Amino acid sequence: MSLKYRTTYCGFLTRYDNSQMKTELENIKRLRKSRIRILYIIVDVVLVTLSFLFFIWVKPASKAYYLPEYYQPFLLFLGVWLIVSLIIGKYQLHKIKKPKDIYVYTLISNITITGIVTSLIYFNNLFSYSRLIVFGTIGLSTLLELLIGYVFSAYKFAQQLSEDKERHAKETKTKVFPPFVHEEFDKEKTRQKRLAQREFITQTKSKRLFNYLNRYVDVGDPHAVVFNTTKIANVETLADGYYNKMINLHRVNDIRRVNKFFETINERVPYGGLFIGCVETKNIRKKRMLGQYVFPLNWISYSFDVFFTRIIPKLWLTKRIYFFVTLGYERAIPHAEILGRLYSCGFELVNERYIYDELFFVVRKVKEPSYDHNPTYGPLISLRRYGKNGRLFKVYKLRTMHAYSEYLQDYVYEKFNLQEGGKFKNDFRVTTSGKIFRKFWLDETPMFINIIAGDMKLVGVRPLSRQYFELYSEELKEKRLKTKPGLIPPFYADMPKTLEEIMASEMRYLEAHEKHPFITDVRYFFKAIWNILFKGARSK
């Protein structure tokens, strides 16, 4: 057994073995965890007590009445609070891996406490107790716990990421292989690289993934590279144009600046080069989270996850705070959004497959990135559409599709045919809330901003995107560009079913509008309103 030396507090050298050193380190870590746990329990008791005293103070009656009347039940309540919190594991901070984990343990614990307290009040007929004091104490304590716990877990998470980054910089670096002078004769190097990459892929992911990758990439090819990183700097070290096949085994969900990462990949691979990556989509995430707990705790946990990972990052006031705290780690990404990001960055989809709990995609470089610095990401979006005289203007709508869906127009048109009414069949870009907005016309209401601005009018042909506009005949294009687009299109008056019928309907409207503009708009307006109210005409 190898021996090492250490210096005691007296300055003498003593010998000890590796197992003793390991045991001492484990004891130190265990002691540190215990101290943090005890400190958190003390802080929690103080928070509950302060919340209780606050609502005693809020009550209009004398504090001299409430304190003697409530202090004994409060001690019982505090005991229930601590016991339930200990059983559920709210104070086991080592279980918290991500900032949002604090919400799961705190909410499950405090909801359980609320149920127990409510049951005690109901079955013992203790209705004389003030509901403001009882449930106000629970509510305020929960808010304070979430605030302090989130700050602590965010600090812990940021510290852990910093340590991982330093360790990663010391231990692993992206290897850049110089070009082989005689690749066709260097079979031994190719074989060794193939074996090394196969071992790396199977250990990092699975053998099943290796078999899938083998359909598109020979990992022994000197022009193929495999890495497992979220750092853009690691990709930037790769030689421009040398690697025509790149594979990243790390999930896109953990990359801080996803588009910048894809743009850097695009800059490094030549035209026609392949990039293979993976992502945990929104649906996979939902399935995983609902399987973590029993009903209804799983839905409670999932609801908070949706709020903090899909709503907060999209709001103008909170998205910067979200990315500052989480550093973009384990973000929720819908299927349509990840494809839209790839297409916006100059790639097209070759193939995709679900392997275990991740979606792997194979994309090919077909153009330079769009470098869109202001993508439509929030609930209120602006879309570039053709207006009068061919001028492009921004149409305002409530979001009904996932972010970056506008870059998938050509992809969806090729993959899915148009259904009745000129919409795409099985359009996976539309969100659940978007279907509701479209059914009740809520998504159209911001267009009144365009009407006030003078870019649109109440009745007229619908403003079209480039992809839709190119589907129309040249004659219809010319007539469309002679007038302002409208909020209520002739579609709702004539109810056409196919694209040809839609174009014929718009042609009739435009020809009539050229002769009698005001009368035509009034006639189409009332006919469209009749169909919407009594025939169920809706946007899909």
Per-residue model confidence as pLDDT tens digits over 350-383: 999 999 889 999 999 999 998 876 666 778 888 8
> What's the token pair of residue 156?
């812990």
Q: Are 489 and 423 contacting, i.e. CB atoms less than 8 angstroms apart? A: no
How do residues 485-495 score in pLDDT, each as one tens digit? Answer: 999 999 888 88
Residue 406 has pLDDT above 80, yes or no: yes
Fold of the domain spanning 187-281+333-365:
Rossmann fold (3.40.50)
pLDDT in tens, 231-277: 898 898 888 888 999 999 999 998 988 999 999 999 999 999 999 99
Two tokens, residue 19: 């197992």
d(C-alpha 225, C-alpha 280), whole Å: 22
pLDDT tens for 182-239 read: 344 456 666 776 777 778 788 778 888 888 988 898 877 888 888 889 889 889 888 8
The pLDDT value given to residue 363: 96
- 34 or 176: which carries more pLDDT confidence? 34
Residue 479 above 80 pLDDT?
yes
301: left (phi over 0), alpha (psi -120 to 50) or beta: alpha
Structure tokens at 232: 């853009």
Cα–Cα–Cα angle for 233, 204, 96, rounded to 5 degrees: 80
- pLDDT higher than 90, residue 338: yes
pLDDT for position 284 = 92
> Which candidate, 113, 127, 141, 137, places its Cα nearest to that of 44?
141
Which pLDDT score, from 0 to 100, does residue 9 have?
37
CA distance 64 to 208: 71
**CATH 3.40.50.150 domain extents, the chain:** 187-281+333-365
The pTM of this model reads 0.64
Burial class (CB in 10 A: 0-12, 13-18, 19+), 506: buried
CB 401 within 8 A of CB 431: yes
Distance from C-alpha of 216 to C-alpha of 231, rounded to nearest angstrom: 24
375, HSE (Cβ side, Cα atoms, 13 Å):
19
Percent of the chain with pLDDT over 70: 79
| DSSP labels, 409-475 | HHHHHHHS-B-TTSPBTT-TTB-HHHHHHHHTTGGGTTHHHHHHHTS-EEESPPP--HHHHTTS-HH
